């Protein structure tokens, strides 16, 4: 009998350092991310938020330190983690074709692909756009399609890198609804944003990064009301902490 | 001046009446250059895509060599293929020198590096856009190369066109390995060269007109395909 694979989580970051072009972007971050709470990574521009997400997701290799999963993914097995980028990259095919492609790469049998892809498009409210070419959709629709792709894959953990940074409030609201639904369905959410309103709406806990260091980790309410560090306080007041 | 205008009139007559000799030369040219494009694409496109998405030691050198080979002189290719296929050459036993097959081989060698170099450029640009997303989904490098080839297929049409243009218009390689044998290996470019030196301008001019029209038609078709695709799929 097949046993369900052991959970990827918790994710342990130990003394993470990342350097590029002679600059130290991440300066020793250690943290443990557990299943459950929605984690939001906050911080000013250049704090290293996006780089941290890419290190976690395996798109970048740390210069020092380690990213350790509870039960690491096997190189040949389908991925159980996913990422949504600020600007979604979609293939020149239909909305359905884009989701099916992700399922194909994810090793989902061909006979299941169509149904799962359609179900995912319904979840993000794109059921009326199944056959539309993805690249000619609006920005908000494209990002919802990127989330449908994630939905179909049912990852254990989802990293989001400012997914609503270039969207209008209406589209942002739609995207946030889908993120909450993914959370309800059991996916661990780790999201980067510098939109404080969004952090307020979505975060259970907040990791505050500044200049490549993890300065604070607090429950969202507490952080937003009474930040511990002066940098975070100034960030919340809208001042740049330097 | 009158000889030229007479020649043009005769050339147009040859084209208008579908002169059998003219038609057979045109068809042979198209058969050879289109075959070369198919084989060149089978070699050049995957190789170019693979170079674009893979990091390996010596990759820069490969890119420089590919780019340099775009300017490969066709007579040199002809000479090398001639040496390989001649009786005393390593592939002499096949006995295909002075046949259309030899001409296809020569043109394939001529255009495959061009196709690979241009493909690497297009796929490389695509790769910098798609890289993180495809890696995030867990795509392999080979899978990524194939995905990019398929996703950027309308841009690759232009590349195939450039390859076809080079194959159809070159004269050096096919002249050497084909031998310009009447009715067997005589193609548009070699006929134009021969007939011009003989002073038989009508046939040369007629073939020149056909060659121009073919290149123009293929270009127009490729442009139309690309525009339509861009409009529909973004």
CA-nearest residue to A100 within chain B is B137
Cα–Cα distance, B81 to B173 (Å, whole number): 8
CA-nearest residue to A94 within chain B is B233
Spans of chain B, pLDDT less than 70? 1-2
How many H-runs (helices) and E-runs (strands) does chain A carry? Answer: 8, 9
Cα–Cα distance, B16 to B157 (Å, whole number): 30
Q: Are strands A11-20 and A64-69 parallel, antiparallel or unpaired?
A: antiparallel
> Which residues of A are less than 8 Å from B137 in CB distance?
79, 82, 101-102, 105-106
- Does A83 contact B233 at a Cβ distance shorter than 8 Å? no
- Does B137 contact A92 at a Cβ distance shorter than 8 Å? no
Q: Which CATH superfamily is domain A35-60+75-80+155-242 in?
A: P-loop containing nucleotide triphosphate hydrolases (3.40.50.300)
Give the H/E segment covering residue A82.
strand A81-84
pLDDT score of A240? 53
Scanning A42-71 for CB atoms below 8 A from B yields: 54, 57-59
Is A138 in CB contact (< 8 Å) with chain B?
A: no
3-state secondary structure A179-220: HHHHHHCCCEEEEECCCHHHHHHHCCEEEEEECCEEEEEEEH
> Which residues of A are less than 8 Å from B138 in CB distance?
78-79, 105-106
pLDDT score of A136? 93
Residue A220 in contact with residue A203, Cβ under 8 Å?
yes
- Does A93 contact B233 at a Cβ distance shorter than 8 Å? yes
User: pLDDT digit string (tens) for A84-122?
Assistant: 999 999 999 999 999 999 999 999 999 999 999 999 999
Q: Which phi and psi angles does A161 have, rounded to 5°? A: -105, 95
Q: Tally the C-alpha atoms within 13 A of residue B174's C-alpha that lie toward its C-beta.
A: 32
Cβ-count burial of A45 within 10 angstroms (0-12 exposed, 13-18 middle, 19+ buried)?
A: exposed
> Which residues of B are less than 8 Å from A57 in CB distance?
136
Cβ-count burial of A63 within 10 angstroms (0-12 exposed, 13-18 middle, 19+ buried)?
A: middle
- Does A133 contact B234 at a Cβ distance shorter than 8 Å? yes
User: pLDDT digit string (tens) for A225-238?
Assistant: 999 999 999 999 88
Spans of chain A, pLDDT less than 70? 1-4, 239-242
> Which residues of B are less than 8 Å from A88 in CB distance?
133
pLDDT score of A90? 96
Q: Which CATH superfamily is domain B7-12+19-233 in?
A: MetI-like (1.10.3720.10)
Task: State pTM to two decimals.
Answer: 0.88
Domain residue limits, chain B: 7-12+19-233
What is the 8-class DSSP label of residue B131?
H
pLDDT score of B2? 67
pLDDT score of B35? 97
Residue A209 in contact with residue A52, Cβ under 8 Å?
yes
**Numbered ranges of CATH 3.40.50.300 in chain A:** 35-60+75-80+155-242
Q: Are strands A188-192 and A39-42 parallel, antiparallel or unpaired?
A: parallel
Q: How many residues make up chain A in this entry?
A: 242
Residue B164 in contact with residue B156, Cβ under 8 Å?
no
User: pLDDT digit string (tens) for B121-163?
Assistant: 999 999 999 999 999 999 999 999 999 999 999 889 889 988 9
């Amino acid at each position: 009998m097949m046993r369900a694979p052991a959970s990827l989580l918790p994710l342990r970051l130990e003394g993470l350092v990342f350097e590029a072009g002679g600059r130290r972007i991440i300066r020793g971050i250690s943290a443990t991310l557990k299943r459950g709470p929605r984690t939001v990574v906050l911080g000013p521009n250049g704090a290293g938020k996006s780089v941290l997400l890419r290190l976690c997701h395996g798109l970048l290799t740390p210069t020092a330190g380690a990213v350790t999963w509870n039960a690491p993914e096997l190189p040949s097995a389908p991925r159980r983690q996913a990422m949504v980028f600020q600007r979604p990259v979609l293939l020149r095919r239909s909305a359905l074709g884009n989701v099916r492609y992700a399922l194909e790469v994810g090793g989902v049998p061909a006979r299941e692909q169509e149904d799962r892809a359609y179900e995912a498009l319904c979840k993000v409210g794109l059921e009326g756009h199944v056959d539309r070419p993805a690249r000619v959709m609006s920005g908000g629709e494209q990002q919802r399609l990127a989330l449908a792709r994630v939905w179909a894959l049912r990852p254990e953990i989802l990293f989001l890198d400012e997914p609503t940074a270039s969207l209008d409030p209406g589209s942002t609201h739609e995207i946030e609804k889908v993120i909450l639904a993914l959370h309800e369905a059991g996916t661990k959410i780790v999201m980067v944003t510098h939109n404080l309103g969004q952090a307020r709406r979505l975060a259970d806990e907040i990791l505050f990064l500044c200049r490549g260091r993890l300065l604070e980790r607090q429950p969202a309410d507490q952080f937003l009301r009474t930040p511990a560090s002066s940098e975070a306080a100034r960030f919340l007041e809208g001042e740049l902490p330097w | 001046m009158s000889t030229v205008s007479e020649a043009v009139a005769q050339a147009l007559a040859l084209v208008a009446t579908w002169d059998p000799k003219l038609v057979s030369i045109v068809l042979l040219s198209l058969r050879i250059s289109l075959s070369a494009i198919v084989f060149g694409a089978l070699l050049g496109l995957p190789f170019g895509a693979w170079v674009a998405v893979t990091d390996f030691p010596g990759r820069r050198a490969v890119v420089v060599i590919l780019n340099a080979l775009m300017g490969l002189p066709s007579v040199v290719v002809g000479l090398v293929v001639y040496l390989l296929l001649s009786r005393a050459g390593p592939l002499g036993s096949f006995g295909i020198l002075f046949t259309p097959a030899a001409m296809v081989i020569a043109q394939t060698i001529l255009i495959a590096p061009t196709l690979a170099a241009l493909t690497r450029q297009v796929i490389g640009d695509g790769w910098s856009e798609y890289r993180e997303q495809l890696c995030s989904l867990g795509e392999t490098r080979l899978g990524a190369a194939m995905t990019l080839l398929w996703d950027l297929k309308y841009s690759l049409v232009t590349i195939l066109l450039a390859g076809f243009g080079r194959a159809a218009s070159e004269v050096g390689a096919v002249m050497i390995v084909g031998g310009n044998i009447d009715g067997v290996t005589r193609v548009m470019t070699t006929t134009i060269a021969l007939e011009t030196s003989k002073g038989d301008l009508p046939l040369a001019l007629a073939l020149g007109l056909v060659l121009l029209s073919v290149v123009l038609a293929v270009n127009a078709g490729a442009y139309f395909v690309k525009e339509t695709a861009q409009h529909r799929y973004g």
